[in-house]
Structures are given as structure tokens and as C-alpha cells.
Amino acid sequence: MIDQLRQRARELLETGQAAVVIGYGERAGDGRPVPLFVTQPAETARLVFTPACVDNLARYLTRKDVQALGRPALVATPPTIKAVAVLVQENQLAADGLVLIGVCCEAPGTAGTACALLAGATLAELEAEVAGRLRGQELTEAALARVAALEAQSADERWAFWEAEFARCIRCYACRQACPLCYCEQCIVEKNQPQWVPSSPHPLGNTLFHFYRAFHLAGRCVLCDACAEACPMDIPLGLLNRKLAREVRDNFAYEAGYDHTAPPAMASYRSSDQEAFIR
């Protein structure tokens, strides 16, 4: 599989279909997967793909310095493909400019599980393959068990839970920087005229930042957990995103990342949208 991946990457660079292949390499010393930007065909030998390759590389597609390298080819796991779909929906990327090398593994994060290239070449083909694998699997009862457990608690208990979690937040913004859908050139927390969200890492500031971020991702988050993985303080950010994703699914019959041609849930209106909250 890795030989095919490297061969494909090589072909793309040699034929000029891509100026840079964004994939995974290995850190010198311990082999930890790291994002890799390959511009020379000979360097494609450094590309790897293992179950440990979970960073969402779509993050780099909206970076100006990466865009300056030229047309990218992206080694894309299913969550990465979903993120690309949302970026196209939101006019951050053009679907026809994309070169995607779809990859997947049986159990991401679990060493030794099999990895393979996806068959699709276009975004639409890859979306279909990804939907076949993931749709209906991500917001199951089992996946939402921790969310449900929190919802069963009283408001005071839930507040105490999140207060304890956010007390560890150091406002490093690793969550935001790792997220492929946090691409604002200036984040709301960086505006200080007025200061909508306190930049200080105190309980109020931290809580507001994480709630704002979760709401800004409602209907957009592809549940890749890049944020939770990036967090150096192990804050379970995925719980907030999954809760809101479930709300969007249940209220608007919409899950982000499966169809780049669909109107985004939070930016469109259907007459079937429930309006129970204003009755």
C-alpha cells in the first residue's frame, strides 16, 4: 500500500499535477508520524501511512504559505476528506482544483491494523466511499454515551464538570490551530475592539472560548477529534462537538462532511426546519 501511495505521489509531482504532496512522514528518532510537505519526486520515499497517522491534514489547505507552494495533493483519511468537503461547501477551496489521495485504515490509532488506498479519485467519489464507511457510525448511542451521561446530570453537576475541565485550559489554542475548519484569519478571541471573548485564561474566559468555538463549529465539525488530540491538557472537547452535531442531526437532518454540494445547515433554510423554539 505504501509503495502505491509513494508511486502515486511521485507521478503527481513528476507530471506537474501537483506542486506539493501533503502527507505524513516520520519524526527522526522515534518515528512518530508528522505532517510532511514533499515537493521533490525523490522525497516521496519519506511518505508513510500507518494507523498512527491521524492528524487532519486539511488544516494546511487554508494556510497561505502552503497555498504559495502551488497546487497541493493531499493524503486524505476519511475525516480529512470530510473536512475538505466542508471547506469546499464554504468556498474556501475549489472542488475541481483538488487532488486527493484517499487512504484509510481499519482502526485509526490502533497499531498493526491494515491500511489501504481508497478507490475514489474525485471528491464526490471519495465522499461516497467515506459515507459508506462512516455515515451512521459516528453519532450512535455508544459514541454519545459520555454525552448522555453528562446530560443526565443536574445543571450544577454539569457546570462543575466543565469548570474543572476548563480550569486546565491554558489558552494555547492548539484545538483551534489543529482544526481544519477554524480558518478565520482573525479569530473572535483576537478581536479587542470590543473584546468579545476574554483572552485571559481564567474560568470565565476559558468557558466562553470553548463554548464559542463549539457553537461556531455546530453543523460544520466533522468529528475528527483533531482538537481533543491536540489539547495538551486532555480537555474532552469532542464531547461539546458531538453534542452539537447530534442537535444538528436531530433538528435539521444534517451531518457535516458527506456532501460538498449540499447547502451548509447553519447557512441555509428549508421550510421543513423546525421552529418549535419560537412557538
Q: Is residue 41 at the binding interface for another protein, with CB under 8 A as the rule?
A: no
Span interacting with another protein, options 128-136, 167-175, 249-257, 271-279, rule CB under 8 A: 167-175
Q: Is residue 177 at the binding interface for another protein, with CB under 8 A as the rule?
A: yes
Are 48 and 26 a contacting pair, CB within 8 Å?
Answer: yes
Sign of dihedral through CA atoms 260, 83, 256, 90?
negative
Number of separate helices (H) and strands (E) present in the chain: 10, 5
The single residue listed with the C-alpha cell 491538557 is 233
Span interacting with another protein, options 84-92, 94-102, 148-156, 193-201, rule CB under 8 A: 193-201
Report how far residue 60's alpha carbon sits from residue 96's, in angstroms, rounded to the nearest whole number.
18
Q: CB of 248: closest distance to another protein in angstroms?
A: 26
Q: Is residue 202 at the binding interface for another protein, with CB under 8 A as the rule?
A: yes
Q: CB of 209: closest distance to another protein in angstroms?
A: 13
Are 72 and 20 a contacting pair, CB within 8 Å?
Answer: yes
Q: Kindly state the cell numbers that stand for 2.
A: 505504501
Span interacting with another protein, options 35-43, 113-121, 152-160, 268-276, rule CB under 8 A: 35-43
- 47, 104, 131, 178: which one binds another protein (CB under 8 A): 178
Reference 60, options 88, 42, 80; nearest CA is 80
Sign of dihedral through CA atoms 180, 49, 23, 15?
negative
Q: Is residue 133 at the binding interface for another protein, with CB under 8 A as the rule?
A: no
- 9, 21, 36, 265: which one binds another protein (CB under 8 A): 36
Q: Which amino acid is at 209?
A: F
Q: CB of 36: closest distance to another protein in angstroms?
A: 7
Q: CB of 221: closest distance to another protein in angstroms?
A: 17
- 17, 113, 195, 268: which one binds another protein (CB under 8 A): 195
Residue numbers 228-247 binding another protein by CB under 8 A: 229-230, 232-234
Q: CB of 10: closest distance to another protein in angstroms?
A: 17
Cα dihedral 184→238→223→214 (10° resolution): -40
Report how far residue 209's alpha carbon sits from residue 156's, in angstroms, rounded to the nearest whole number.
20
Of 35 and 120, CB closest to another protein: 35
Q: Is residue 268 at the binding interface for another protein, with CB under 8 A as the rule?
A: no
Pairing between β-strand 33-38 and β-strand 72-76 as defined by DSSP bridges: unpaired
Which uninterrupted H or E stretch holds 151? helix 145-151
- 173, 211, 212, 252: which one binds another protein (CB under 8 A): 173
Sign of dihedral through CA atoms 60, 189, 222, 89?
negative
Residues that bind another protein (CB under 8 A): 27-30, 32-37, 46, 55, 59-60, 64-66, 168, 170-174, 176-178, 186, 190, 192, 195, 198-202, 205, 226, 229-230, 232-234
